[in-house]
Amino acid sequence: MLQAHSLLWHYLWVAPNLLLLILAAILWRRKLYKKFPVFLVFAVVIPIEQLTVYITDIIPAVQPIAWWHVFWAGLLVEALIKFALIGEIFGAVFGLYPSVAKPGKFLISAVGVALVLLSSVAAAYTPKDNIYWIVSGAHVLEQTIYMIECGLILFLFVFAAYFKLHWSRPAFGITLGLGISACVHLATWALMANGNFSAQYRNRLDFLNMATYHACVLIWFYYLLVPQKNVPKPKDPPPPEHDLTVWNQELERLLHQ
């Protein structure tokens, strides 16, 4: 069951990508992409890239070296789009408020630079897990990209939580999916790049990656297409009269100083 080219393997590689393309089509038709145009690009380009890699994998005529070239190209395109998407989410959550947008931009840039340095150090210490550089290099590049992505998404969550900022439903859903995917992929690629595991064990990690990606696509479906329930909001009770008077007296005194 958990073997390469098994039915489950084919399903997990193809189905989430088809679902993501369907989601892109729905977003386009309902004009829901206007707030998150980069996510629409993500939902179109990533499945096409993944399906290209899949097709080159199952066509016997494609040489292994050609497959790895396709894989590398896809990886670089994927990384560019994901970082652009993180920038778009940052703008959607913090861009409305100049008081946090400016320091936030500075901080996320600083965190990005620190993550690039950290991931470069990690890449330098990662042993070669294959005699072919194109294979081991791809594993290290995956580890590097997911380290940076995971760190940036974590920063977004922590920064918004510190300032008690509310996430819009689509922004939260997109970031949650990206975050879960980045964390799981970082763990699995770190194991693949640094551990000397058997092919069977690597297959299991591949399955974990694919299943996580499938779950994330379903998260995006839920948060982008299912409307939020309207919870009736009871009114706040008025504060005690004593506090009200004291505070207003204090304010009056300050204003007349």
Partner 1 sequence: MNLAIVLVTAAVLALAVISSVAVSRSLQTSRGGAGLAPTIRPIDVEAFRNLINPAEDDYLRRRLPPGQFRVVRRERLRAMAAYVQVASSNAGVLVRVGEAALASGDPRIAGAAHALVNDALLLRRNATVALARIYLALAWPNSGFAAVRVVDRYERLSGAAMLLGRLQNPAVPVRLSALL
Rule CB under 8 A: which residues touch partner 1?
96-100, 103, 122, 125-126, 143, 147, 150-151, 153-154, 157-158, 161-167, 172, 176, 179-180, 182-184, 186-187, 190-191, 193-196, 228, 231-239, 243-248, 250-251, 253-254
Among 58, 194, 212, residue whose Cα is nearest residue 123: 194
Q: How far is the CB of 1 from partner 1 (least distance, A)?
A: 25
Q: How far is the CB of 22 from partner 1 (least distance, A)?
A: 24
CB 127, CB 194: distance < 8 Å? yes
CB 189, CB 143: distance < 8 Å? yes
**C-alpha triplet 25, 27, 31: angle, nearest 5°:** 120
Residue type, 135: V
Closer of 58 and 161 to partner 1 (Cβ): 161
CB 2, CB 206: distance < 8 Å? no
Closer of 62 and 114 to partner 1 (Cβ): 114
Closer of 40 and 208 to partner 1 (Cβ): 208
Closer of 61 and 231 to partner 1 (Cβ): 231
Among 73, 254, 93, residue whose Cα is nearest residue 174: 93
Closer of 3 and 245 to partner 1 (Cβ): 245
Start-end of H helices in the chain: 7-29, 37-58, 64-94, 98-125, 133-162, 169-194, 199-225, 241-255
Closer of 86 and 176 to partner 1 (Cβ): 176
Going from the C-alpha of 163 to that of each of 36, 99, 112, 202, the distances in angstroms are 23, 11, 20, 41
- Residue labelled with tokens 């393997």: 9
Q: How far is the CB of 62 from partner 1 (least distance, A)?
A: 31
Q: How far is the CB of 63 from partner 1 (least distance, A)?
A: 30
